[in-house]
Amino acid sequence: MSDFNKYSRRRFLRDSSIGLLAFAGAPSVLRAMEGMGSMGGMQAMPKMTPNRASANFKPDVELELFCKSTSVSILPGEQTRVQQYSAKLLQGPPDTLTEIKGSYLGPVLRLQKGQKVRIHLHNQLAEPTVTHWHGLHVPANMDGHPLYAIDPGEKLVYEFEVLNRASMNIYHPHPHETTAKQVYHGLAGALFVHDQEEAALELPSGEYEIPIVIQDRVFDEQNQLIYVRNMHDRMTGFYGDRILVNGRPDFHIDVASRAYRLRVLNGSTARIYKLAWDDGTPITVIGVDGGLLEKPETKPYVMLAPGERLDVWADFSGRGEGSQLVMRSLAFSGVLPKMGMMMHSGSLPVGSDYPIFTARVTRKVSDSPKLPTTLSTINWHKISDTANPEKPVPIGITEGHMSMVLNGRPYAYNDIQDIERIRVNTIQLMEIFHAHGGGGGHGNSSAAPEEQGEEQQSGGMMGGMGMGGMRHGRGMGGMRHGTMGGMGGMGGGMGGMGMMMSMAHPIHLHGQSFQIVSRSIDADSDDDYASVREGFIESGLKDTVLVMPGEKVRIIKPFQDFKGLFMYHCHNLEHEDMGMMRDFSVE
């Protein structure tokens, strides 16, 4: 916290406990949560003086990045109003920026490991924003933490060195309580890091390396984007009825009969995909969030949750001209609460089977690169390398009533719990699990007693919905008297109603990538779990992991080089904006 003192606090001293009030039902906050416009949740955050360029930082790459409102053609007919990143290279290699023609997505940003990068962010929106480099290991004050959000018309300078290994990352907004909305309206882009180890492999590049950014959206009759309509849309996450790839509907690529490298990113706010080729060809995976695997892996399908990336080797050699291969999302179950599932009856239900994009072979060529048998070396850590082999840092998922939170408390920038303090330059064993309302049964002391009190009063959110609360419109009535009120009393058991409310959460940690040590699943969950279990990849470095209902995931994560606040949150962005987000204070 001490580093806040260096900054002015213009916006400070507004009620910083507003996050807690939200879950006790403050009407203004509810309004924001129902998507009826922003109630200015930003006021809960202090205002930092935007960072400026420093004289002693000598960038290899320097660019300007603009956030603005504009219109683009997505569907036939009227243009769609979106928010968009655009960029201008001031210095550095010309291939640093590549536009995706006709897309609302920001330009593809390509960096090399070791480069020093300076980015001037210009906020040309009518609301605060800040940009986060999802996946990059950068100093806390360069990470796009919501504390560093800038107002309309302001500029913010980022300076960092690229420390990551070769990987696909994301740049996207991270302002307090409006991340999902801004991403949904178009603010996102792919950020590639390349390095020597990768270059030596001579993987398909140039036109043979294709970004595939998968998103879902809802359009109204005038081709305008529709976002969150009610509380239910937030509780489960918001789901579109239309899949866009790289900002285009009905996406296809024309390919030659040779190998391609598809760089896939789930840029949806909430939708989880089960990716597979339609003809049963296994997916050849060469990398995940944190870069290349050591060896390629073949999978019948791969689960991809919001924020996760996949590096796919797609070999079309031997396929005839005119043939096509479709990537689909296959049927699966168990990621939504049973009750949410019933209410989620759009035309593209989560877990149904639908196409994502089509690759059409339009050119026959005789030559193709070969899939390398070894790809990279990963510096794995053992549990005995961690500072806390006996006592994993808990990341408890609490699902209930009005709230989706982590470690028992909604987001507040100045509310670090002891379990959230991490010594810099340590490697930590961490455990992500479903704590439910009570947080009990996991030996975790994080569910604050005063909030349990609140739970008793406000009743079950999902219960309220189950009782038809949603039908009463936006009133609090239905929610106050949920029959599942006081989930805290259930002591975190996975059975019965706990399981009914449980859903999958893609948990993301800022800073360095982590390794997955183990996954264990509650016995009750088997049927649903069987429909996804072969789709997880543990042989690479990750920054986002999908945690299924009843699942416990252990990870090992380094916290090296930088002190300060590093967030961890659900990358279901509606959940993030509801407060399912916390900070680790690295000290």
Residues that bind ligand C2O (CB under 6 A): 132, 134, 170, 172, 174, 307, 508, 510, 567, 569, 571
Check binding of 572 to Cu ion (CB under 5 A): yes
Nearer to ligand C2O, 255 or 272 (CB): 272
Nearer to ligand C2O, 180 or 361 (CB): 180
Nearer to ligand C2O, 434 or 571 (CB): 571
Strands (E), 77-185: 80-91, 97-98, 108-112, 116-124, 131-134, 155-161, 167-173
User: Which does residue 570 touch among ligand C2O, Cu ion, none (CB within 5 to 8 A, set by kind)?
Assistant: Cu ion
Token pair, residue 531, equals: 């429909």
Strand ranges across the sheet with 544-547: 421-422, 581-586, 564-570, 505-509, 544-547
Smallest distance, ligand C2O to C-beta of residue 354, A: 25
Smallest distance, Cu ion to C-beta of residue 295, A: 27
User: Which does residue 307 touch among ligand C2O, Cu ion, none (CB within 5 to 8 A, set by kind)?
Assistant: ligand C2O
Nearer to Cu ion, 176 or 505 (CB): 505
User: Which does residue 572 touch among ligand C2O, Cu ion, none (CB within 5 to 8 A, set by kind)?
Assistant: Cu ion
User: Which does residue 217 touch among ligand C2O, Cu ion, none (CB within 5 to 8 A, set by kind)?
Assistant: none
Smallest distance, Cu ion to C-beta of residue 486, A: 22
Smallest distance, ligand C2O to C-beta of residue 527, A: 31
Nearer to Cu ion, 235 or 419 (CB): 235
Is 455 in a helix, a strand, or coil? helix
Check binding of 436 to Cu ion (CB under 5 A): no
Residues in binding contact with Cu ion, number by CB under 5 A = 6
Smallest distance, Cu ion to C-beta of residue 293, A: 21
Smallest distance, ligand C2O to C-beta of residue 552, A: 22
What 3 state SS string does 188-229 have? Answer: CEEEEEECHHHHCCCCCCHHHEEEEEEEEEEECCCCCEECCC
Backbone angles phi, psi at 405, to 5 degrees: -135, 170
CA distances from 583 to 175, 224, 333, 395, 410 (A): 14, 35, 31, 11, 11
Check binding of 134 to Cu ion (CB under 5 A): yes
Check binding of 575 to Cu ion (CB under 5 A): yes
Rounded Cα distance between 407 and 398, Å, is 7
User: Which does residue 65 touch among Cu ion, ligand C2O, none (CB within 5 to 8 A, set by kind)?
Assistant: none
Smallest distance, ligand C2O to C-beta of residue 421, A: 19
Check binding of 571 to Cu ion (CB under 5 A): no
Contact indicator for 136, 161 with CB cutoff of 8 Å: no
Smallest distance, Cu ion to C-beta of residue 390, A: 28
Write the DSSP string, 361-430. Answer: EEE--S--PPPPS---------GGGSS-TTSPEEEEEEEETTEEEETTB---TT---GGGEE-TTEEEEE
Is 435 in a helix, a strand, or coil? coil
Nearer to ligand C2O, 23 or 411 (CB): 411
Contact indicator for 531, 429 with CB cutoff of 8 Å: no
Is 547 in a helix, a strand, or coil? strand
Q: Can you say whether the dihedral through the CA atoms of 122, 126, 128, 134 is positive or negative?
A: negative
Check binding of 176 to Cu ion (CB under 5 A): no
User: Which does residue 174 touch among ligand C2O, Cu ion, none (CB within 5 to 8 A, set by kind)?
Assistant: ligand C2O
Nearer to Cu ion, 212 or 405 (CB): 405
- Helices of type H across 317-376: 338-343
Rounded Cα distance between 51 and 72, Å, is 32
314-343 residues in contact with Cu ion (CB under 5 A) are none
Check binding of 570 to Cu ion (CB under 5 A): yes
Window contacting Cu ion (CB under 5 A); options: 315-323, 336-344, 485-493, 571-579? 571-579
DSSP state of 165: P
The residue at minimum Cβ distance from ligand C2O is 134
User: Which does residue 505 touch among ligand C2O, Cu ion, none (CB within 5 to 8 A, set by kind)?
Assistant: Cu ion
Contact indicator for 446, 409 with CB cutoff of 8 Å: yes
What does the chain come to in residues?
A: 587
Nearer to ligand C2O, 35 or 189 (CB): 189
Rounded Cα distance between 92 and 100, Å, is 20
Nearer to ligand C2O, 174 or 519 (CB): 174
Site for Cu ion (CB under 5 A): which residue of 505, 542, 554, 582?
Answer: 505
Rounded Cα distance between 232 and 220, Å, is 19
Window contacting Cu ion (CB under 5 A); options: 194-202, 348-356, 420-428, 509-517? 509-517
Check binding of 174 to Cu ion (CB under 5 A): no
**Residue 121 bridge partners (DSSP):** 65, 156
4-43 residues in contact with Cu ion (CB under 5 A) are none
Contact indicator for 516, 546 with CB cutoff of 8 Å: no
Smallest distance, ligand C2O to C-beta of residue 309, A: 11
Smallest distance, ligand C2O to C-beta of residue 543, A: 8
Nearer to Cu ion, 361 or 447 (CB): 447
Is 133 in a helix, a strand, or coil? strand
User: Which does residue 575 touch among Cu ion, ligand C2O, none (CB within 5 to 8 A, set by kind)?
Assistant: Cu ion
Window contacting Cu ion (CB under 5 A); options: 80-88, 186-194, 553-561, 568-576? 568-576
Smallest distance, ligand C2O to C-beta of residue 469, A: 31
Site for Cu ion (CB under 5 A): which residue of 510, 542, 569, 582?
Answer: 510
Smallest distance, Cu ion to C-beta of residue 446, A: 17
Smallest distance, ligand C2O to C-beta of residue 252, A: 28
Window contacting Cu ion (CB under 5 A); options: 104-112, 321-329, 367-375, 563-571? 563-571
**Residue 397 bridge partners (DSSP):** 406, 434
Smallest distance, Cu ion to C-beta of residue 505, A: 3
CA distances from 270 to 507, 519, 577 (A): 12, 22, 12
**Residue 328 bridge partners (DSSP):** 276, 355
Rounded Cα distance between 406 and 576, Å, is 10
Rounded Cα distance between 376 and 295, Å, is 7
Rounded Cα distance between 63 and 86, Å, is 10
Rounded Cα distance between 245 and 103, Å, is 9
Residues in the site for Cu ion, rule: CB under 5 A? 134, 505, 510, 570, 572, 575
